Structure 1
């Protein structure tokens, strides 16, 4: 029973990624699985139920990493590793990120959780910034909303980089993920101290040749 449910989610995710959520029907998923629509309905009554299951499958890893933030040493290297892991996980569920706004309107449970995740991500960046300031890698912000604006830009980029990749028909491979992780991390570069810039350049030396 558990294996059947897992197979349904796996096949659905692949179809959604290839054709888009709105273009895939329960019948198409059942045909791909070589089962009847009624058999599939035993596990998921609606296509939106599959969407909900896939969403919470995806965010379970994100949630656990946020909770472990204060257990890891914060360095530019570990931050970049975490960014790349998040991006790789997003690629596995890219259908969600390429149609983010519309899919959030389909399921209130997903929408509420996504809003809650935003709060957690915001707090995660605040923790990161305070740690970098303590290490004397990051300058103190000049006005109260400066860090908030930076965090909002970084979260906005995180939410939309896959959408932009599809919009401009970019191939998403490991090199591209490396580039996009650098682009996100570069947002904090203007705010670094001289010491922070020295440490930062050790992480991405090729960008400063």
Structure 2
């Protein structure tokens, strides 16, 4: 048994349930049935645990602009789907990210650096979609830097949005940002890009029907 990884695993569950700032080291050790000394052997302070969790999140980061494959709009969707899986797995991190930035600026600096690199990668991806005829060119009326930032904010703070909105009373179609992200990008798709989007939609509809029949 890897006690260090086990601590991270149990801590993430508790943080997701109660919030990072509402869970103490004692809560974690009591849940696991280990001594406080066993905890501090691996993580001297709670913020060291946060740093280890952040490393896991960054290790699972999605490559924005892969160089070893043919990149289409399918990649756009799959990229955000994978990111949303990470976001759900570490829900507390994204719900409390603004507070964590203030409380632990040294630790969170790594996430800020990684985010900057992702935004740069996103620009490369957008440039690829423009040159490959999937997105309309940038102009005085179209600023892809703003669009990229909007996509990033929508995906990163989706958990916060879902926590604020009462899903039982809202018209949210599903607990996923994918449709919203497509809604941001759709107005800028060329005819070629839109046809590819329609194919993606048809593919998912077909997969949904197949999965439904197998239930």
Q: Which residue of 2 aligns with 1:124?
A: 121
Q: Structure 1's 199 and 47: CA in aligned 2 closer, same or farther, altered over 3 A?
A: same
Q: Which residue of 2 aligns with 1:66?
A: 63
* Contact persistence 1:17–1:93 (CA under 8 A): yes
User: Secondary structure in 1 aligned to 2:44?
Assistant: coil
Q: Which residue of 2 aligns with 1:182?
A: 179
- What are structure 1's unaligned runs of at least 5 residues? none
Question: Do structure 1's residue 158 and structure 2's residue 149 form an aligned pair?
Answer: no
User: Secondary structure in 1 aligned to 2:196?
Assistant: helix
Q: Which residue of 2 aligns with 1:38?
A: 37
Q: Which residue of 2 aligns with 1:105?
A: 102
What's the TM-score once normalised by structure 1's chain length?
Answer: 0.87
C-alpha separation between the residues in 1 aligned to 2:16 and 2:95? 9
1:114, distance to aligned residue in structure 2 (A): 2.0
Q: Quick check: 162-171 or 40-49, which moved more?
A: 162-171
Q: Structure 1's 92 and 170: CA in aligned 2 closer, same or farther, altered over 3 A?
A: farther
* Contact persistence 1:133–1:139 (CA under 8 A): yes
- What are structure 2's unaligned runs of at least 5 residues? 205-215
What whole-Å deviation, never above 9, does each CA across 1:21-70 have from its counterpart, x for those lacking one? 111000010001101112211111111111111011111111xx327622
1:96, distance to aligned residue in structure 2 (A): 0.5
C-alpha separation between the residues in 1 aligned to 2:133 and 2:141? 19
C-alpha separation between the residues in 2 aligned to 1:56 and 1:106? 18
1:127, distance to aligned residue in structure 2 (A): 1.3
Q: Higher helix proportion, which one?
A: 1
Equivalences, count:
200
User: Secondary structure in 2 aligned to 1:69?
Assistant: coil
C-alpha separation between the residues in 2 aligned to 1:206 and 1:68? 23
Q: Which residue of 1 aligns with 2:208?
A: none
What whole-Å deviation, never above 9, does each CA across 1:112-138 have from its counterpart, x for those lacking one? 212212221111211111111122111
User: Secondary structure in 2 aligned to 1:204?
Assistant: helix
C-alpha separation between the residues in 2 aligned to 1:162 and 1:13? 15
* Contact persistence 1:30–1:37 (CA under 8 A): yes
* Contact persistence 1:97–1:159 (CA under 8 A): yes
Q: Which residue of 2 aligns with 1:13?
A: 12
1:108, distance to aligned residue in structure 2 (A): 2.5
What whole-Å deviation, never above 9, does each CA across 1:156-196 have from its counterpart, x for those lacking one? 1111001111122449xxx835x421211321111111221
* Contact persistence 1:132–1:138 (CA under 8 A): yes
